[in-house]
Amino acid sequence: MSSSCLVNNEDTFNDEEISRLSLEIELLKQELNKKTELLKTKQKKCLTKLDVSRYSRQIILPEIGIEGQKKLKNASVLIIGVGGLGCPSSMYLASAGVGTIGLVDYDEVELNNLHRQLLHGQCNVGMRKVESGKLSLSRMNEDVNIVVHDVQLDGYNSLDIFKQYDVIIDASDNLVTRYIINDTCVKAGKPLVSGSAIHCDGQLTVYNYKGSVCFRCLHPKPQSPETIGNCASAGVLGPVPGVIGVLQAMETIKIIIDHPNVLYNSLLLYDGGDCNFKKIKLTNVKRAGCLCTRSTEDIVITMDYEEFCGSKANDKFKTLNLLNEDERITVIDLNKLISQNQPCLVIDVRKNVEYDMCHLPFSVNIQLNDLKREKTLLELIKQINSYSKTPNVITICRRGNDSQRAVKELKKYPQITKKVNWIKDVIGGLNEWSMKIDKTFPMY
């Protein structure tokens, strides 16, 4: 017999003793579980008299009652994005007495956020959004525990954060983040209240709730990045994310109180222009092979989401480098050329509406897409011909990407290139002009 098999006689058990001990262990385990559950219930916060006064107008509702309000007090909700949707949803949840609200955002408050992101005020411009959000929410309701996560959410940090919360609200603004949030909710088994808003339109639904479909079931392949707009490029009317964010708060409250009519398996469409709400039925069958049909251990959320979507996990501006250095000028060069009265045709290639918002007085407006039109090109040639000396052509846009595209486009036409000295664009565009030449020029 090898030494490893040597056993002291006192330590050996017969079959009967083994099954008796197993039973004892099982009973002890059950006892421990019961005590842990009891402890959890005892640890649950009860309502104070002040709570009852504060929330009396909603406690009185049969849907809420004392039990519902207790559930809200003991609930935790994570909101990703303290922007157009995250501001209204967090305001209503904090005011309703949700015990813990987590805020995720990696960005700072900008002036152009204020028309719709009502948690942030003028004095908060430049501040971290999560900090500004926490300040305002705590001012609204000091009893709510506001937890800040000042990070860019990705597949590596999301699970640890999500685990700490009961309900997740997607108030982000880009496709990559939507997939990360969806996949993490599926892995962590959390309901996802999803919303979006752009122009005058909004959408709302709840995924991964009581066996319902997930975002991937409906969108297994990401939309191409070119077809997706964002608030910065497409614009949004403030009340639209306001409406959707408030409805996200409503669905979250319904999930917490276990309301029977949570908006899952349906998609709510809001058309602000028409003042119209439409509800369309979604499938209640999970897509075969979808992530949400796998066991949680098999769900991988550390994939390269940016590669999968072909876009970034934020809607921050990407600088293109389409032109060579000698095909570009700085705003300082432009200023010099203009003050020296050099013959320059400055073409602002932004949308008409942007040109109407603000423009350089010496520029003309031809939208990038119009540069392909024959009629526009003929008019442009006429303008070039009207100069007494051979002019330079300078394209400009907001930040210096479309202006590079415009140079490429114009250089395709020898009728133009032959008649001008050179065609160049302005690095950094009008935003750079605003920073370096004229601080009163609006930056947007």
Binding site for ligand ATP (CB under 6 A): 80-84, 104-107, 112-113, 117, 129, 152-153, 172-174, 177, 230-232, 313-315
Question: Is residue 304 part of an annotated ligand binding site?
Answer: no
Asked if 253 and 71 count as a contact pair (C-beta separation under 8 A), the reply is no
Question: Is residue 309 part of an annotated ligand binding site?
Answer: no
Judged by CB, which is closer to ligand ATP: 172, or 265? 172
Q: Which does 292 bind (CB under 5 to 8 A by kind): Zn ion, ligand ATP, none?
A: Zn ion
Question: Is residue 438 part of an annotated ligand binding site?
Answer: no
Judged by CB, which is closer to ligand ATP: 112, or 342? 112
Q: Which does 360 bind (CB under 5 to 8 A by kind): ligand ATP, Zn ion, none?
A: none
For residue 266, the minimal CB distance to ligand ATP (Å) is 23
Judged by CB, which is closer to Zn ion: 180, or 407? 180
Question: Is residue 121 part of an annotated ligand binding site?
Answer: no
For residue 26, the minimal CB distance to ligand ATP (Å) is 45
Question: Is residue 275 part of an annotated ligand binding site?
Answer: no
Asked whether position 397 contacts Zn ion by CB under 5 A, the answer is no
Judged by CB, which is closer to Zn ion: 214, or 394? 214
Q: What are phi and psi of 318, to 5 degrees?
A: -105, 130
Asked whether position 256 contacts Zn ion by CB under 5 A, the answer is no
Judged by CB, which is closer to ligand ATP: 147, or 437? 147
5 is an active site residue: no
Question: Is residue 124 part of an annotated ligand binding site?
Answer: no
Q: Which does 363 bind (CB under 5 to 8 A by kind): Zn ion, ligand ATP, none?
A: none
For residue 246, the minimal CB distance to Zn ion (Å) is 27
CA distances from 146 to 38, 46, 61, 78 (A): 27, 19, 26, 10
Catalytic residue among 185, 309, 344, 397: 397
CA 82 – CA 110 distance, rounded (Å) = 12
Q: What are phi and psi of 254, to 5 degrees?
A: -60, -40
Binding mask 272-301 for Zn ion (x = CB under 5 A): ------------------x-x---------
Question: Is residue 38 part of an annotated ligand binding site?
Answer: no
- Locate 71 and state its tokens: 């559930």
For residue 99, the minimal CB distance to ligand ATP (Å) is 23
Judged by CB, which is closer to ligand ATP: 238, or 343? 238
- Locate 342 and state its tokens: 């050099």
Q: Which does 402 bind (CB under 5 to 8 A by kind): ligand ATP, Zn ion, none?
A: none
Asked if 228 and 219 count as a contact pair (C-beta separation under 8 A), the reply is no
Nearest to 200 by CA among 229, 220, 180: 229
Question: Is residue 271 part of an annotated ligand binding site?
Answer: no
231 is an active site residue: yes
Number of residues that bind Zn ion (CB under 5 A): 5
Asked whether position 217 contacts Zn ion by CB under 5 A, the answer is yes
- Residue where the block lists tokens 């590669």: 307
For residue 385, the minimal CB distance to ligand ATP (Å) is 41
CA 209 – CA 99 distance, rounded (Å) = 21
β pairing state of 266-271 and 201-207:
antiparallel
CA 95 – CA 138 distance, rounded (Å) = 10
Instruction: Count the neighbouring beta carbons within 10 Å of the beta carbon of residue 138.
Output: 14
Catalytic residue among 87, 185, 231, 344: 231
For residue 107, the minimal CB distance to ligand ATP (Å) is 3
Q: Which does 105 bind (CB under 5 to 8 A by kind): Zn ion, ligand ATP, none?
A: ligand ATP
CA distances from 170 to 87, 143, 336 (A): 12, 24, 48
* Residues β-bridged to residue 45: none
Catalytic residues: 231, 397
Residue numbers in the known binding site are: 84, 105, 112-116, 129, 173-174, 214, 217, 292
Residue numbers in the known binding site for ATP are: 84, 105, 112-116, 129, 173-174
Residue numbers in the known binding site for Zn(2+) are: 214, 217, 292
For Zn ion, the binding residues (CB under 5 A) are: 214, 216-217, 290, 292
